[in-house]
Structure 1
Amino acid sequence: MVRVDGTVRRPQTRASPAVHALLRHLQDQGFDGAPRYLGEDEQGREVLSYVEGDVPTAPFPAWAASDEVLVGVVDLLRRYHRAVAGFDPAGRVWGSEVPPAYRGGLVGHNDLSPDNVVLRDGRAVALIDFDLASPGSALWDLALLVRLWVPLRDPDDVPDARSGRALERLRLAADAYGLPAADRARLVQAARESHGWCYGIVRAGAERGQAGYARYWTPRAQEHDQRGRRWLAASEGALERALGTDRTGAGPEGAVRSADGRG
């Protein structure tokens, strides 16, 4: 993948035609939060417009850890969902497969890690890297977003200002999206399932010898995966209470200790 002037050139995959159709649909809908598909170059690479801005990469920068940035990313995702709602995904080959329980007819981005969101002057302006896009749902996309942006993980794995604030940032994200009660009741479980889904993609890619996945899938990354699974399982009730979907009857004080690692 290379930048050439105001474009990005990328090798194509079997899912590229589906992604190109999706990007053309977004452009037709007037959605300005994604790259434009500009065709192929003489080497057969796809040509996309280059989106100016910054993407948060590890270590997570302080400027990207604010609540305002989180709300902006959620708003960008909501706008994407509105724009993509009329797109027909049938008959196309996609780059991933969302669990059946989270397929609602809407093509999700499915890879909402911070380094796939472009920010400019502290404002989320575009989603990039649609390689894992496929039929999914708003709930699944939001679960992926909150797991990585809140983030929903052990506070010891959050070495920045977001540490210890999982409850309030999760609630903030759900409120910013306008998530209905029925989906709030499923959001935490969806986040747990998305954790396993994402790491499953990484593990499978590493086992196939894909260089990027193989470099990432180190013993340290595998420990991070297991620690995340344990924290999500232990904190499920607390996170649900933060969303107002308590199934245990426990009070808010217990929620803070469980999810935020205090006490």
Structure 2
Amino acid sequence: MLGKSVLHADETPVQMLKPGAGKTHRAYLRAYVPTSFDSLRAVLYDFVPSRPGEHCRTYLEDWRGKPVTDDYASYKAGFAAGITELGCMAHARRKFHDLHVSHQSQIAAEALELFGALYGVERDVAQVPADERRQIRRERAKPLTETLHRWLIEQRPRVPAGSGTACAIDYSLKRWEAHIRYLDDGDAPIDNNWVENEIRPWAIGRSNWLFAGSLRGGKPSAATMSLIQSARLNGHDLYAYLKDVLTCLPTQKNSQVAELLPHRWEPAK
């Protein structure tokens, strides 16, 4: 995973019991996923006791790629160490979408049309090689981003400070450089939606198990879910995969353990 030049990164809060306190505090589950353009289908979950960036830096070690993130401060500490942030265009679009749904905002409708043109280009380049994707983006998407940027700047003085529309515009402008970096890298996605799908099982799980008992419980749960969700991404029957892995693992040579990983495992014929 850490050999990839681009990784999605996202997180979701998980309640964890405080030792000896009889109450919970907020811990976090982080997910790291290669992009949809990558042939590797895998997800790595990391359970951490708090949000600060040292957990992210420790987990990623010396990785110097490009994380696709959602403006979380916990990731920013790594940017000065040679990591280049890629923004999430979907988060910028979503703020205007919410305005349009709640207030039928004309400005939001115009913004959605401009964002929609960018996503139209992405649909056209989803299946082409990275070099070709980059070239098409430069030819078709770059002029669209320039139009969107001008439009955002023009609209900002026309809306009241502190309004929902102003906040949506300010978010896009503040994150602009990160949002458009995907134009120069054919391996980079336009948004972070790919990893958000892998966060969803944990969001659903919270309704059932409510909290983690401890950090010692959360860490192995994250490792187990990494295997399960990666197996799903590779289209495996979960029962068949886990049964075979648990059967083989006690006698598997250390040098061959990697063969049991979901993206390398093959069912017995």
Bin of the TM-score, shorter chain as denominator length: under 0.3
Q: TM-score, normalised by structure 1?
A: 0.27
Which gives a bigger RCO, structure 1 or 2 (Cα 8 Å, sep 6+)?
2
Pair member with larger Rg: 2
Structure with the higher fraction of residues in helix conformation = 2
